[in-house]
A and B are shown apart, each in its own frame.
Chain A
């Protein structure tokens, strides 16, 4: 299957492990990824500043997808996924906004299309690729490992717009981790927010928020936390040190992208999945896998 990819700013400029692991794993599932002609912000941050401009940028992504004659668009970021969905929803219901945006797009030879399916890796893998297919590419089941998952707020709300998973009891990421042979633990703080958006205005509050969740997770018997959003991942992984010093607790919880875990189960070498970029003690997971398989990777 051919699918257009809109990576989003965070992945393209900072969260390289997500891009690496997605580019490695998806083709092995028979998915051909097509980059858009241009890369720009989805509009997310602009919703707070100038909502019309935010929706113009988001609509432009849909127009760029139409330009390469594809009707399915994958975006690995929760915030991008929501912004694109919001724009589509708005343009379907608000004629005046749609006309103004179409005018701007037509002005540069682009055409808006309302006929684009906007996917996130979580629902794309769960609903479209399906578990049976994923199980066929697992060459090294993650048996004996136990994970907790974090879906992220913007992936699951508001359900009125049709979100990839259930707003109060998201399960798809759990099911996807289980398909790799690992165990998944449910936990009380599962719906707690990573705090990313607050890093723009109140970073200390953001770090104490993510710190509280990490602390709770660390007290559980899990080998790591599985993420599927670059902003959430940034908070749990790269900002884990900031979180630790903000709340005054030692934090050492390994954090991985789902696509990295998928790649490990597919027996793709760790560095091709960008695991060297994770800033949490990911070696703990690799060592456990090494013990089991005596595989020669670091």
Chain B
């Protein structure tokens, strides 16, 4: 079932529509006139059938919950070609980002790897733990064996502030 078909059973939510649009300060999605430039150049179109102009227009119509809980918003590869080429500054990239933020807020399905990165950042400040590079069974490299300095640790205050920031971001 296509994205558009799914919406035929949904009702627009104008309050959520407002919430998403208000958060996009860098772009003006309502100005989209469906020229299709974004979709014709979209990296994820052929691969995963992402049609950025459709996303923008479904937001304009108010089908926000449906989009936020759909996997389609996680198919964007953030190549930013749509942002660059949009003649109306409607920039689907910013719309998709706002929808992803809303998916987190609404506790919709978010790809695991994103949530793992978040919990790692809260714990250590970095998106992942320091990796060992094993080229063969005996040839294993890490920062120390390569003579690289230790990674400076984050302070306690940062962890505290990160929680405050996360709260602020959902206001």
Contact = CB atoms under 8 A, between A and B. Distances in A.
Given A16-B141, A60-B158, A200 B43 contact: no
A35 interface: yes
Interface string B88-103: 0001000001101100
Contacts of A153: 78-81
Contacts of A167: 84
B110 interface: yes
Given A94-B25, A108-B161, A209 B43 contact: yes
A55 to B, nearest CB: 9
Contacts of B23: 51
Interface in A24-70: 35-41, 45-53, 56-57, 60
Given A16-B133, A39-B152, A276-B135, A52 B157 contact: no
A50 B135 contact: no
B126 A201 contact: no
A16 B146 CA distance: 8
A60 B158 CA distance: 10
A154 B79 CA distance: 7
A50 B165 CA distance: 9
Interface residues of B, number: 62
B166 A50 contact: yes
Given A158-B84, A195-B77, 15 more contacts: A9-B126, A16-B148, A37-B152, A38-B152, A39-B151, A39-B154, A45-B114, A50-B104, A52-B169, A108-B157, A197-B76, A199-B113, A201-B74, A205-B75, A276-B135
30 contacts: A13-B131, A14-B128, A20-B146, A35-B152, A38-B158, A40-B125, A40-B126, A40-B158, A45-B118, A45-B121, A48-B114, A49-B100, A51-B23, A51-B169, A52-B168, A53-B169, A56-B161, A104-B165, A108-B155, A108-B157, A108-B161, A157-B79, A157-B80, A158-B91, A159-B84, A198-B44, A198-B75, A200-B111, A201-B71, A277-B135
